[in-house]
Chain A
Amino acid sequence: MENKVSMKEKLLGQKARNIYANTAIYIVLAVLGVLWILPIAYLLYTAFRVTPATGIILQLFPDDLELGFGNFGRLFSDTMFLRWMGNTILVAICSCALTTMFILMVSYAFSRMRFKMRKPLMNVMLVLGMFPGFMSMIAVYFILKAMGLTNSLLALILVYSGGAALSYYICKGFFDTLPRSLEEAAILDGASQWTVFWRITLPLSKPIIVYTVLTSFISPWCDFIFVNTIINDAEKYTVALGLYRLINAEKSSFSENFTVFCAGATIVGGLITALFLSMQKYYVEGVSSGAVK
């Protein structure tokens, strides 16, 4: 009897403690959530702010504040934003297709086949993958020049997908977890590795394919270093470099282009965010499997 009462009290106490804890957590999450959203809110606000965000006394809410789509208008008329978007979409689609193909091929070979050079090759590729690519950028530039490819989008596609094989790690880890029994049965029935790859492994690998497609589609939208070296012609810029140049062309801390930059960034960010949120599930799966393995 006594025991039961104390148990009850204990539970009640725990409940009360839980409520305090949860309230504290709600407060922390709300504060941090606001902190995380504020810069993005500022981005959106600036994108729609027609009053220049420059001047000697910059104000968050000036008296003559005017909101509207003026920056977007300027973005489309004064810059080659649409062109940059087109370029980026083209590069992203092509390099994403190639990259995904390469990664799947390499991962399958490393995960399912056994050959003499496998382990050394895997280690070498791992080390190469740790090497920041842009360090050898000048050499890449001249190799492309020797191929007559500088200043072209094809060069970008080649550079982005050329090193793709290095990120085999996550995908290989996924293939490793797939059960082998199906394949073994198929091979006993006389199927070749080719058939197994297409008919058995790939259909089972939807999550990792989506993850690979997603990450490789997004990366050309974010890179500006390679584009900066390979492409000089403003008509062939991708959005990242175009927008980067818009505010970093002159080193002055604030240019009047800042609001236009924000308008462009809103469009790009909105697109990528929409894509990302709709595919979030697969992304999480890929990230966590890559981390554990």
Chain B
Amino acid sequence: MNNSENLSAAPAEESVAEKPAGAFTRLGRRIKAFVLAIVHGSAVTKVSCLVMGTGQIARKQYVKGALYFLVEVLFILYMVFFGGTYLGHLFAGDLGTKVGADVWNEALGVYEYTSGDNSFLILLYAVVSLFVLLLFLAVWYMNMRCNIANDSTRNIAAKKPPQEYLEILASTKESGSSILLSSRAVSVQGGRVRLTLKGIPENGVLEIGKIPIPFGDIEPNVTRFGPLLVTSVESTEDGATVDLWRDENVYAPIYLPLEIYLRTAEGTPVAAAYMRECGSVPTFKKDAAELINKKFYVPLLVVPLLGLLVFTVMPLIFMILIAFTNYDYEHTPPGALFGWVGFSNFAKIFSIGSGGADFLLVFLRVLAWTFIWAIFATFTNYFFGMILALMINKKGIRFKMLWRTLFVIAIAVPQFVTLLLMQKILDGDGILNVILGTKILWLGDSSNWAIIPRITIIVVNMWIGIPYTILMCTGILMNIPSEMYEAAKLDGAGPFQIFRKIVLPYMLQVTAPYLITQFVGNINNFNVIWLLSGGGPVDNINYGAGSKAQATDLLVTWLYRLTTDVNPQYNLASVIGIVIFIISAALSLITFNRSKSNKNEEDYQ
């Protein structure tokens, strides 16, 4: 029972040097404890492994038990009548085998069309079923934890302390050394228990659960009774204080009742504490009441997260899986099947000269432009927006509201309207060329690496984005203490020096997360590119390789074109999607985990 390797599970409040344990080690321990708790658990708990809800019903938690049982029945029905087949396909490694075809019908003497398997639907439903399975496993785990918690309460109620100790207990009850732990405190949450034992003789022996514990500077935390840790034992003038801690991270069965004795050096018991749990399993009403109090986050999160699961996570997993298939215009269901091809789509994009097309070169070109665009789009908006905000907010400038409103209207008009309008204005026959009397293809000139469209797009993006920065900066700029300006002015600093030495460092520090979010947003800025140039102009170097990428395509617009083209290539689009995902996820995770607000979450209160 002395599990000294379990040190790392010690509660943070105890100032114990934590032994670093990897996430996997900890997970392994938890699984082991979980399995042990079931193995040592009661019969109904074991039955509950297979028939959910029986354990609860046996302990009179009827509503809860019925709900668990219902979930299991629904799950089995779902799997038998729907999901099972699709999961079977997934695990068998095929996405349908029957191709739809005209089959000769002898009896009628005609060709009949028999529909074949639809690989797309098979994969989709397999993903859905996989999620249903995972959700079910989560519910099963909840069910088992509920049973284990119930077990700890029931076992204790069944056991009686041995007769000889009962007498001592009776004698020490008045002195307050008999401790009752409420079952909630012990089985659900971590909790600290302090026992005070009175009447210790000199050189006495303290025994907890029949194990002698030395007094004084014992190594804390080494002694463990299931989930109960002895954190310290101190001798007082006439007795001892024992601190115990209920470790919430351990699901081992609770070895209660725990008998604690003080004996004289000769072995005569003088004082005892008898720990047992009292109380009964929680009623449904009590469980429900928890849901609007301590567990309020459960009802708060469940619906939004379900929405997320159905409309974001599941489609995402599905699209990721598509990257490992040959789903393209030659394998489009219904009519044709597609199947797993491993990493060959990745190989096609990331290797030179495969299949006659230099996909890698095209990919790198698009990636480079995506980053160039994102850098220019982010920083032009940021700096010019900041300068404009400074101008508008400068002391002595009048009609502040008017200036601000002029720019803000650009935000208020929906983006697709302004972008489509700009596209028409900048057209070869558009009004800009009419006014200038020129014939420049602002968005369609493919000469010189399509430099004109690229610049045009960045400029138009400034028209759209600068007002946002103005709005954002206005609030933050007011937070710069005015004494700093005054001091700088007295020292003879010009406006540019003030901007460079005071405003810019302050803004960069404060708005760093915003900048990164904008950067990631620009990497994925579909609207501006798609509505302005549509990714064009067609650029033979890129397009010719069969990649369909055009000159101003970002990764996202390229992806969109690959899926909406007459000859769609969903598999390649998915690979690009994965690349976009990795870039965005890495950038955003780094930023937010380093951002001040995340670290000092509590400081703001």
Contact = CB atoms under 8 A, between A and B. Distances in A.
A273 B413 contact: yes
Given A143-B311, A161-B307, A291 B511 contact: yes
A202 to B, nearest CB: 13
Interface residues of A, number: 99
B403 A22 contact: no
A193 B559 contact: no
A22 B581 contact: no
A277 B589 contact: no
Contacts of B311: 140, 143, 158-159, 162-163
B100 interface: no
A273 B312 contact: no
Nearest to A127: B585
Interface stretch (A65-73, A79-87, A260-268): A260-268
Contacts of A272: 412-414
Contacts of B476: 288, 291-292
Given A287-B472, A292-B510, A293-B513, A193 B296 contact: yes
Given A109-B297, A176-B601, A291-B513, A273 B412 contact: yes
A222 B601 contact: no
B604 A176 contact: yes
Given A126-B589, A284-B471, A36 B526 contact: no
Given A29-B391, A136-B319, A193-B296, A273 B472 contact: no
B97 interface: no
A148 interface: no
Q: Interface majority SS on B: helix, strand, loop or mixed?
A: helix
B601 A143 contact: no
A204 interface: no
Contacts of A290: 514
Given A37-B409, A130-B584, A273-B412, A123 B589 contact: yes
A193 B421 CA distance: 50
A227 to B, nearest CB: 11
B600 to A, nearest CB: 10
Given A115-B297, A221-B414, A272-B413, A127 B584 contact: yes
Contacts of A40: 409-410, 413, 418
Q: Taking each of A43, A139, A222, A280, which has the highest tally of chain B beta carbons within 10 Å of its own beta carbon?
A: A139
Nearest to A196: B296
A60 B434 contact: yes
Contacts of A36: 406-407, 409-410, 463, 467
A277 B412 contact: yes
A180 B467 CA distance: 35
Interface residues of B, number: 96
A128 B308 contact: yes
Interface stretch (B13-21, B158-166, B211-219, B298-306): B298-306
Contacts of A128: 308, 312-313, 316
Contacts of B124: 139, 142-143, 146
Contacts of B114: none
Interface in A29-59: 29, 32-33, 35-37, 39-40, 42-43, 58-59
A244 interface: yes
A165 B414 CA distance: 23
Nearest to A178: B605
Contacts of B315: 136-137, 139-140, 143
B514 A131 contact: no
Q: Taking each of A40, A244, A292, which has the highest tally of chain B beta carbons within 10 Å of its own beta carbon?
A: A292
B149 to A, nearest CB: 16
Contact of A132 (B294, B300, B305, B556): B556
14 contacts: A26-B397, A33-B406, A42-B425, A60-B434, A132-B580, A139-B315, A165-B305, A166-B308, A176-B601, A193-B296, A221-B414, A244-B416, A247-B424, A273-B412
Given A132-B580, A253-B430, 19 more contacts: A21-B495, A25-B394, A36-B407, A37-B409, A39-B422, A40-B410, A105-B304, A126-B588, A128-B316, A129-B588, A133-B312, A143-B124, A158-B307, A161-B307, A162-B311, A244-B416, A253-B424, A269-B414, A288-B475
Closest A-B pairs by Cβ, 6 of them: A162-B311, A136-B315, A288-B475, A139-B315, A291-B514, A193-B296
